[in-house]
Amino acid sequence: MEEMASSNLDRLVEKENPNSIKLPETIEVFRNLKNAKRFAIDIGGSLTKIAYFSTVSHRRVTYEGDSSDKDKDPSKHTPQENFSYESKENARLHFVKFETKYIDHCLDFIAANLINSDGMEGKSIKATGGGAYKYANLIQSKLGLSVDKEDEMECLIQGCNFLLRN
């Protein structure tokens, strides 16, 4: 009986004091960050959300067999004649969320893994939410990017319109 009571008490304590948001392994969360072309941040009171656009290279090998060739002797054909290689870059959009109280750590990670790339030098970051104003100086000092503060509702409407059209 006592075990049941303590079990119920544990559940009540968990509901009142929920665990912090647990991020998966850093490598999985920020996969393909090295290829990021652009990113934006929404800084709220409790959660910060990052969206970044990157490219992923895919290689595809296709076999180009001659269907009219009845003689299937492989020694008559060189491998290069039968295969074609195609390399293609696809776009990918990534989303990451974390507690705003860890924004310092996140900005340090982004600075170490993204900003050092040549593609981000001299660029700006789009930011929404109240934290865009509160943390603008911190973002500028840690990332070396200018902060373009955007209206959250206007961005939401533009994003919805984009999704409806595409």
What is the DSSP code string of 82-147? Answer: HEEEEEEEEEEEEEEEEEGGGHHHHHHHHIIIIITSGGGTT-EEEEESTHHHHTHHHHHHHH--EE
The contacts of residue 103 (CB under 8 Å, 6+ apart) are 43, 48, 131, 135, 138
| Angle, CA 81 vertex, CA 79 and CA 82 arms, to 5° | 70
Compute the distance between CA of residue 114 and CA of residue 96 in angstroms, rounded to an integer: 15
Q: How many residues would you count in the chain?
A: 166
Q: How high is the pLDDT of residue 26?
A: 52
Q: How high is the pLDDT of residue 156?
A: 92
Q: Judge if pTM exceeds 0.85.
A: no
Q: How high is the pLDDT of residue 59?
A: 80
Domains of the chain: 21-57+93-165 (3.30.420.510)
Compute the distance between CA of residue 142 and CA of residue 20 in angstroms, rounded to an integer: 25
Q: How high is the pLDDT of residue 30?
A: 63
* Averages of pLDDT over each 10 residues, the chain, 166 residues: 54 54 55 73 92 80 62 56 78 85 87 66 85 94 90 93 90
Q: How high is the pLDDT of residue 52?
A: 82
Q: How high is the pLDDT of residue 143?
A: 87
Q: How high is the pLDDT of residue 163?
A: 87
